[in-house]
Amino acid sequence: MTTRSSISSVDEYMAQFPAETQKVLAELRQLITASAPDATVTISYGISTRRTGGLVRREARCAAHKLTW
């Protein structure tokens, strides 16, 4: 897995996962974008982060279940 400091985009973040996980992440990304189209997308703490309306939502990986949300 890529180190936090070397990830600079959501595409780079997603690319570090297996193809099957990338597919799920892409679908999730579309759903999140549709529900919060005004959100600013950044990388924070090495993970995909969306900021909207003063809130921060991190798409964090759950290692135990190998899921990301």
pLDDT digits (tens, 9 = 90+) for 9-68: 888 888 988 998 888 888 888 888 888 888 888 888 777 788 887 777 766 555 444 555
Helices (H), the chain: 10-15, 19-35
pLDDT on residue 64: 45
pTM (2 d.p.): 0.64
Domain boundaries, the chain: 4-68
pLDDT on residue 65: 47
Q: How many CB atoms lie within 10 A of CB 8?
A: 11
